[in-house]
C-alpha cells in the first residue's frame, strides 16, 4: 500500500496556520510538537513547520495579510461547500474569494484563497449539474 500524499507549509505561527487548515479542510491533528503540527485525513497529511526564529524575525505581515502569489505550488483542498469554506476561512484569519471568482474545470468548481500568513490555496467541490 502506498503512503498518503503529503505537503508541508512553513509558518511563523504554526498553531494559527494549523487551526486554519484543520477548520477549512476538515483535517485532524495527528501529532504536535513546538516545531511542527501534522494534520491528517484518510487520504493525505499536511505538516505545518515552524520557520526558524532567525528567519521568522525578518518576516512581517500586513493587515490584512498580502496574498503570496509568487509561489509555483498551490494546495487544492477538497471541501464540502465553498460557501462554508468562505465563512470558516474568515473566522480563522484567511480568505476564500467570492462567488464571482469561482470557475469550473474537470467537473470541479474551484475558488482560490489564502491562509492567515498569505499562502495561496484553492478549494474544490464537485460541479453542480
**pLDDT value at residue 2:** 74
Domain ranges for the chain, please list them. 5-53+66-126
The tens digit of pLDDT for each residue in 73-91 reads 999 999 999 999 999 999 9
Report whether 9 contacts 49 (CB < 8 A). Answer: yes
Cell of 100: 464571482
User: What is the distance between the alpha carbons of residues 92 and 66, in angstroms, rounded to a whole number?
Assistant: 16
Beta carbons of 9 and 47 less than 8 angstroms apart: yes
SS3 3: coil
pLDDT digits (tens, 9 = 90+) for 19-47: 999 999 999 999 999 999 999 998 899 99
pLDDT band at residue 5 under the 50/70/90 scheme: confident
Fold of the CATH domain 5-53+66-126:
2,3-Dihydroxybiphenyl 1,2-Dioxygenase; domain 1 (3.10.180)
Amino acid at each position: 500500500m502506498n503512503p498518503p500524499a503529503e505537503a508541508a507549509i512553513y509558518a511563523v505561527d504554526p498553531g494559527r496556520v494549523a487551526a486554519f487548515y484543520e477548520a477549512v479542510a476538515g483535517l485532524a491533528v495527528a501529532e504536535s510538537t513546538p516545531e511542527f503540527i501534522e494534520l491528517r485525513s484518510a487520504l493525505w497529511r499536511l505538516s505545518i513547520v515552524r520557520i526558524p526564529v532567525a528567519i521568522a524575525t525578518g518576516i512581517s505581515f500586513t493587515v490584512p495579510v498580502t496574498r503570496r502569489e509568487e509561489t509555483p505550488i498551490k494546495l487544492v483542498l477538497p471541501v464540502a461547500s465553498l460557501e462554508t469554506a468562505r465563512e470558516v476561512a474568515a473566522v480563522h484569519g484567511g480568505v476564500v474569494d467570492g462567488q464571482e471568482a469561482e470557475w469550473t474545470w474537470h467537473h470541479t468548481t474551484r475558488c482560490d484563497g489564502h491562509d492567515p500568513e498569505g499562502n495561496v490555496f484553492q478549494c474544490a467541490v464537485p460541479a453542480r449539474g
